[in-house]
Amino acid sequence: MIKKINHIGIAVKNLGLSSDVFSKLFEQSKPHTEVVPEQKATIAFYPVGESSIELIESTSNDSAISKFIEKRGEGIHHICLEVDDIKAEIVRLKNHEFQFVNDVPTAGGDGYWVVFLHPKSTNGVLIELCEKMK
């Protein structure tokens, strides 16, 4: 079951500069920041109500974020939907013929398992599913 929008991911070139902007926007001086080796990225979270805005900076030239910024520039990268059972959702969505970028959950940021649906099957929108690690 899909529970809520967990966060919206925004690809940025420079996390330090973008954090200055978003810290002013949300009046939060120090966002929670962490390195996510599995995604080759450093991320910063700004809580907004029950969701958050995730700024994503690449840590490698061959990462998905680097490629995204090369093609499209900075901006909204993905929408993350929080689910109660990620493996059940993968099966359910495959039955509806959705395609996945990866269909084995990996460690995302902030203590979540994550997978990505391929934008080919979701009208060009990259959708991340996440489930809180137990």
The window from 28-36, 68-76, 85-93, 124-132 that contacts Zn ion (CB under 5 A) reads 124-132
The window from 34-42, 59-67, 92-100, 126-134 that contacts Zn ion (CB under 5 A) reads 126-134
CA dist., res. 29 & res. 68, Å (int) = 27
Single out the residue of 9, 18, 46, 127 in contact with Zn ion (rule: CB under 5 A): 9
* 83 makes contact with Zn ion (CB under 5 A): no
**Residue nearest Zn ion, CB atom distance:** 9
- The four Cα atoms 93, 70, 16, 6 give a dihedral, to 10 degrees, of -10
- Helices and strands (DSSP H and E) totals, the chain: 3, 8
From residue 2, how far is each of 9, 15, 26, 34, 84 by CA, in Å? 18, 30, 26, 25, 7
The nearer residue to Zn ion, 93 or 113, going by C-beta atoms, is 113
Single out the residue of 69, 80, 126, 127 in contact with Zn ion (rule: CB under 5 A): 80
Tell me which residues touch Zn ion (CB under 5 A). Answer: 9, 54, 80, 128
